[in-house]
């Protein structure tokens, strides 16, 4: 009987895990330019089942960085944003957020002001900060395949690969796409665009553990 009850608890835990995962799919946007509609879907989900298929995904660190930069947009130098206030407003772990903000300072996206009334502000106007800068400040260069970085690759297909060149082109186009979006676009333009259908197949950029900074 004890074993049966134990199994029931495992099944219930698995069901709850799945429900939380499905509930995490709640954000999306469409970016349209000219005759081309480019779709980027962001999944705000901490748990994704391994059997869900191939996923490219922003890490939580990148999400936190984007939230922080967007929150600082339009603030004056005498209205600095502190790590604690940002953490409290968006329920972001304080220690992780602090490390993310320091990366943004190191990459000249934010300015850190020390002192009793210190905090953070944008290093320049939101129109001049590209989303690509923020992603790469946190994640490093956008990379779809391991051999695209220029480093020595131990891939078994390295000498007879038929996708290296086309994937390199796709990676370049993806980087250019994010380089064409500014923080001001996130604040002004994308808020008025229709939201994508999140039941469709997701396209996510980069993976990562929210606790691994």
Q: 37-65, pLDDT tens digit by residue?
A: 333 333 333 334 444 444 577 899 999 99
Please give the Cα distance from 111 to 105 (Å, whole number): 6
**DSSP-based three-state secondary structure for 121:** strand
Residue 147 lies in a domain: yes
pLDDT on residue 134: 97
Residue 206 lies in a domain: no
Name the residue range of residue 51's domain.
2-192
pLDDT level of residue 23 (50, 70, 90 thresholds): very low
In this prediction, residues 14-25 reach a mean pLDDT of 47
Residue 209 lies in a domain: no
pLDDT on residue 16: 57
pLDDT on residue 28: 36
Residue 48 lies in a domain: yes
Mention every residue, 6+ apart, whose C-beta is less than 8 A from residue 38. 30, 31, 32, 177
- CB of 18 within 8 A of CB of 49? yes
Q: Is the pLDDT score of 103 beyond 90? A: yes
Nearest to 186, CA basis, from 62, 61, 86: 62
Q: Is the pLDDT score of 24 beyond 70? A: no
pLDDT on residue 192: 67
pLDDT on residue 151: 65
pTM of the model: 0.66
Nearest to 196, CA basis, from 56, 39, 33, 58: 39
Q: What is the pLDDT of residues 174-196, one digit of tens each?
A: 999 999 999 999 998 877 666 55
Residue 91 lies in a domain: yes
Residue 205 lies in a domain: no
Q: Is the pLDDT score of 157 beyond 50? A: yes
Q: How many domains does the chain have?
A: 1
Residue 207 lies in a domain: no
Question: Containing H/E element for 66?
Answer: helix 60-72
Instruction: Give 45 or 16, the one with higher predicted confidence.
Output: 16
In this prediction, residues 101-130 reach a mean pLDDT of 95
CATH number, domain of 146, equals 1.10.10.10
pLDDT on residue 161: 85
DSSP structure class, residue 155: -
Residue 213 lies in a domain: no
**DSSP-based three-state secondary structure for 167:** helix
């Amino acid at each position: 009987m004890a074993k049966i009850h134990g199994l029931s608890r495992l099944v219930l835990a698995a069901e709850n895990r799945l429900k939380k995962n499905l509930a995490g799919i709640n954000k999306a946007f469409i970016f349209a330019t000219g005759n081309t509609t480019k779709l980027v879907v962001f999944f705000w989900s901490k748990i994704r089942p391994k059997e869900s298929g191939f996923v490219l995904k922003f890490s939580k660190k990148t999400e936190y960085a984007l939230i922080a930069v967007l929150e600082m947009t339009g603030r004056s130098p005498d209205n600095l944003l502190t790590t604690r206030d940002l953490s409290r407003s968006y329920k972001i772990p304080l220690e992780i957020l602090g490390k993310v903000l320091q990366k943004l300072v190191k990459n000249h996206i934010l300015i850190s002001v020390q002192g009793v009334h210190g905090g953070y502000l944008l290093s320049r106007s939101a129109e001049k900060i590209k989303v690509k800068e923020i992603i790469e400040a946190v994640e490093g260069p956008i990379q779809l395949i391991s051999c695209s970085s220029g480093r020595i690759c131990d891939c078994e297909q390295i000498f007879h690969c038929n996708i290296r060149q086309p994937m390199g082109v796709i990676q370049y186009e993806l980087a250019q796409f994010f380089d064409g979006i500014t923080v001001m676009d996130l604040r002004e333009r994308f808020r008025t665009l229709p939201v994508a259908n999140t039941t469709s197949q997701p396209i996510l950029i980069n993976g990562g553990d929210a606790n691994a900074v």
